[in-house]
Amino acid sequence: MGNLNGKRIAITGSRKMMEMGMMVVKKGGEAVERPLQETIKCSAEDMKPAIDSYIANGADWTVFTTGIGAAAVFEAAEELGLAEPFHKAAAASNIATRGYKTVQELKKVGLVPFLGDGDGTNAGLLAAFEETDLSGQRVFLQLHGEPVPALENGFTHKGAELTYILPYKTTVPQPDMVTALVHEVLDGEIDAVLFTATPQVRVLFQEAEKLGATGRLAEAFNTKAVAGSVGKVTTGTLHEYGVTRVVAPEHERMGALVVAVDDYFKSHE
């Protein structure tokens, strides 16, 4: 038995929800299923306009931000019969990456980044461009399942002409669950919320914004419900919304997240 006895732990990702719930129960807690988002892969046809534009116009910089997203884009280009021109356009540009998995995916297609982040975060990626003049430079940005304003604004503020591609779509399967979780956190009915991806954070705070409760939600996470984050990017997003108390594991794994939250309660009881 762990240290979650009597604790209500909300799980926000649809992926591996059952496995994480079982881990919470084994640690003595009550697993509360609150799926905030699902990530669905876009079809090759969905990505075709962005791929066609990239091939036709080229880019000074191509920025890949996730390994799975980069792989999906190259797969879509191949399915469309555009693998060769797409690869040629990428190879002709300066390539920047975020995350080691992204670098690994690019190696599979024979591409090596010119710039990379220092810590796996969007802030680290932008910091890598600090000494680079992007005025009038065409930047093609691969995102994941949603726009990322902080990252996009970082490039446009440096004068870049930005276009992007979304190989996945983020959807909200049960909107009522989002509203319920906002109120549960505000009312102190949840002891911890486990965030396994950045979109979950954005979905929750966007709902809080509709309710006029963004600041109160951040404060509730800092004083009531513990925010558990699977990794650096998700942690960074929580910080963007004013959440300063974040529990995250050293190794970015869902199981490790449950263990980290369990350890937190052991030392804060």
What's the pLDDT at 269? Answer: 67
Residue-averaged pLDDT of the chain = 93
Q: What is the pLDDT of residue 1?
A: 65
Does position 125 have pLDDT exceeding 80, yes or no? Answer: yes
Can you tell me the mean pLDDT for 239-260?
Answer: 92
Per-residue pLDDT at 216 exceeds 90: yes
Task: Tell whether 65 and 118 lie within a shared domain.
Answer: yes
Neighbours of 100 (CB within 10 A): 12
Tell me, what amino acid is at 117?
D
DSSP string, 120-151: SSHHHHHHHTTT---TT-EEEEE-SSS--HHH
Identify whether 3 is part of a domain.
Answer: no
Backbone angles phi, psi at 67, to 5 degrees: -65, -45
With H, G, I as helix, E, B as strand and everything else as coil, classify residue 263: helix
- Top pLDDT among 4 and 147 is at 4
Bridge partners for 8 per DSSP: 30
CATH code of the domain containing 203: 3.40.50.10090
Helices (H) and strands (E) in the chain, counts: 12, 11
> 25 and 107 share a domain?
no
Calculate what percentage of the chain has a pLDDT beyond 70: 99
- Does 229 lie in the same domain as 151? no
The whole model's pTM is what? Answer: 0.76
Strand residues in the chain grouped as ranges (E): 8-13, 30-41, 61-64, 94-97, 115-116, 138-142, 161-165, 168-171, 192-195, 226-229, 246-247
Range of the domain at 105: 43-166
Whether residue 55 is found in the same domain as residue 158: yes
Q: 226 with 255, same domain?
A: yes
Question: Is there a single domain that holds both residue 52 and residue 153?
Answer: yes
Same domain? 202 vs 161: no
Same domain, 184 and 92: no
**Count of structural domains within the chain:** 2
Please report the pLDDT score of residue 251 as a whole number: 86
Higher pLDDT, 170 or 159: 159
78 or 98: which carries more pLDDT confidence? 78
